[in-house]
Chain A
Amino acid sequence: MSKLLTDRARIIPVLVVTIVIAVGATLVIVLAGGSTGGASSAPPPSAALTGGRGKTVTVHISMFAFKPSTVTVAAGTTVAFTNLDTTEHTATANNGPIFDTGAIQHDQTKTVTLTKTGTYAYHCAFHPFMTGTIIVK
């Protein structure tokens, strides 16, 4: 009986050290490896040229991704961002203050209208890994 208790007393510290090493090693792998999986790994297909002055094209924000991630629109088209996630998002232009929707709440829609031709890359200010592009032709 005493041998059993002694064995148990020996096993427990070994078990704990093993668990600590396993958890620590996983943490190191995660921190060293950076991102794994996620919305940015498989961008949704881009939309064909749509819209026109006075028309609206909708980009849905769902599961931390802009869908479609790339839209090609005619100059003067309004792009509407509808947030389907329960956390807030933004659509913010990468290069300067070209457009910024500000915080978009759950089920809320905010719009931007781009009149000049060009390619506008944007991201979510709260979740910078979420990116998209609007091509204005």
Chain B
Amino acid sequence: MTPYKSKLRRSDRIRFLAIGLLLCEGGVHLQQYESFLHSVPTINTLFLLNAVSAAVIALALAACRNEIAILLAISAIGMTVTGLVSLAIARQSVLFNYSEPTLRFPVLFAALVELATVLVASRFVALRLREIA
């Protein structure tokens, strides 16, 4: 009996993980917009924009596996790092008239998911570039 060998490349498995994390990131932002932040000026739109962008990038990343996927992963990293930096600023001071003094569970969860997204997407970019080379 021949042992089962996955046809998926390692970079594809990492890509799927990145897609899942991106959808999770967008989901948390959407949930926070809907239940909590929809009445906060500017921040409400940015949260909604993050959710939509995460979903769009995730879907596009699911459809592409070539060089375009690398660009999409880089854009996911850029968007997510922007979110993390914004959270760090809001924790320390005021950003767009909003500050986040309380480390609420959704905030902690979103930060962990975003951190994982950056790491996984970066790993995907590195693996894919190595495969191309």
| Chain A residues packing against B (C-beta within 8 Å) | 12-13, 15-16, 19-20, 23, 26-27, 30, 34-40, 63-65, 86-88, 103, 105-106, 126-129
| Chain B residues packing against A (C-beta within 8 Å) | 36, 38-42, 44-46, 49, 52-53, 56, 60, 63-64, 68, 71-72, 75, 94, 97-102, 104
Q: Are A35 and B41 in contact (CB under 8 A)?
A: yes
Query: Given the complex, which residues of A lie within 8 Å of B75, measured CB to CB?
Result: 20
Query: Given the complex, which residues of B lie within 8 Å of A16, measured CB to CB?
Result: 60, 68, 71-72
A16-B60, A23-B49, A129-B97 in contact; A35/B39 too (CB < 8 A)?
no
Q: Are A63 and B49 in contact (CB under 8 A)?
A: no
Q: Are A127 and B40 in contact (CB under 8 A)?
A: yes
A92 to chain B, nearest CB (A): 13
Residue of B40, B56, B64 with most chain A CB atoms under a 10 A cut-off: B40
Q: Are A12 and B64 in contact (CB under 8 A)?
A: yes
Query: Given the complex, which residues of A lie within 8 Å of B36, measured CB to CB?
Result: 86
Name B99's closest neighbour in chain A (CB-CB): A126
A17 to chain B, nearest CB (A): 10
Q: Are A64 and B39 in contact (CB under 8 A)?
A: yes
Name B36's closest neighbour in chain A (CB-CB): A86
Q: Are A37 and B56 in contact (CB under 8 A)?
A: no
Query: Given the complex, which residues of B lie within 8 Å of A13, measured CB to CB?
Result: 68
Sample (12) of A-B pairs whose CB atoms are under 8 Å apart: A12-B68, A16-B60, A30-B42, A34-B42, A36-B42, A39-B40, A64-B39, A87-B102, A127-B94, A127-B99, A129-B41, A129-B97
